[in-house]
Amino acid sequence: MRTSFSVNDMTIHRIVEQESGFTPMLDFLPTLSKEALGENLSWLAPGGYDSATGNVVLCFQSYVVKTPHHNILVDSCIGNDKNFPHRPTWNKKTDANWMMALKAAGLGVEDIDFVMCTHLHGDHVGWNTRLENGRWVPTFPKARYLFSKKEYTYWSEIHQKTPLDQITDSVLPIIEANRAELVSSDHALNDHIRLSPTPGHTPDHFAVCAGKGGDTAVFTGDLIHSPIQARYPELVMRVDTDRDQAVRTRRNFFERYCDTDTLCCTMHFPSPSVGHIKRWGDGFRLEYVKA
């Protein structure tokens, strides 16, 4: 399984935590018809679909971008000891998968300079913190964490009415430790790293663009989950906060990067997860990099 890619003056590492069947595909993408799914099984299975169970297959991972200036972590995945009562393979887990993948990339937690959370769902903020003597503390001792200010405000208001585990254990401890930077979703960190607004899945979701002088690589976050959404960008994911906006965002994103040299690094596509966007009829496909 390929996990490292070199592009210009940067190196990109996939930090994979889990990859497996997740939940019924037709529930996960509620506007996908059984007929359309059947018409696409020849290329979708087995990597992106488990025919035996009917489940969508997803990868749960982070990315580290090594630029000439910094090591940037894009999304921090699921984490350990976190409360996910409806996700048995995530709930209170204590495995070493993510940390071993980070080590395999030649990195430790002290090497991360910035953590960028594309949005604040639990499987994208989990390793922000770790449990130490009963307290949630920042996992990356030298890092600044970038959250969208609008996204943070949205989830904080919900949290005040109905407490959310991921805000309690993976976001507020970063705020309280004064390690967070609340930014706009078009924020530029430096000449290599900048954010791009991609709302719809959540109110102020952003993608991360990397490269000096242009988008050499782009990290999608959750603007797309499954390869079948590339072929049919109108397919919504069940928890998109604004489905119409999510569809527009997805199609605009794919139009922007279609048939370019930009390396598209998806968060949930099956391995190798990374490739170049090509047109496919009225939709698109990701042409994976070779192993």
Residue 89's φ and ψ, nearest 5 degrees, are -80, -10
The model's pTM: 0.97
pLDDT at 290 over 90: no
Q: What are the tens digits of pLDDT across the range 98-122?
A: 999 999 999 999 999 999 999 999 9
Per residue in 234-262, pLDDT (tens digit) is: 999 999 999 999 999 999 999 999 999 99
Q: What percent of the chain has pLDDT over 90?
A: 99
Closest listed residue to residue 65, CA positions, set 131, 10, 26, 27: 10
Q: Which helix (H) or strand (E) holds 181?
A: strand 180-183
> Quick one: 39 exposed, middle or buried, by C-beta within 10 A (0-12, 13-18, 19+)?
exposed
pLDDT for the residue 170? 99
| Residue 65: per-residue pLDDT | 99
What band does 1 get if pLDDT is binned at 50, 70 and 90?
A: confident
Task: State which fold the 4-288 domain adopts.
Answer: Metallo-beta-lactamase; Chain A (3.60.15)
The 10s digit of each residue's pLDDT in 125-164 is: 999 999 999 999 999 999 999 999 999 999 999 999 999 9
CB 184 within 8 A of CB 242: no
Looking at the chain, the whole-number percentage of residues with pLDDT higher than 70 is: 100
- Chain centroid offset of residue 80 CA: 17
Structure confidence at residue 55 (pLDDT): 98
C-alpha span between 221 and 125 (Å, rounded): 12
Q: Say yes or no to pLDDT of 291 above 80.
A: no
C-beta of residue 136 within 8 angstroms of C-beta of residue 169: yes
- Mean pLDDT, the chain, whole residue set: 98
Tell me: pLDDT of 66 over 80: yes
pLDDT for the residue 76: 99
Domain residues of the chain, as ranges?
4-288
Determine the Cα–Cα distance for residues 98 and 77; give it in Å rounded to an integer.
8
Render pLDDT for 24-42 as a digit per residue (tens, 0 to 9).
999 999 999 999 999 999 9
Residues contacting residue 45 through CB under 8 Å, at least 6 positions apart? 51
Before 270, cis peptide (omega within 30)?
Answer: no
- Residue 64 burial (C-beta neighbours within 10 Å; 0-12, 13-18, 19+): buried
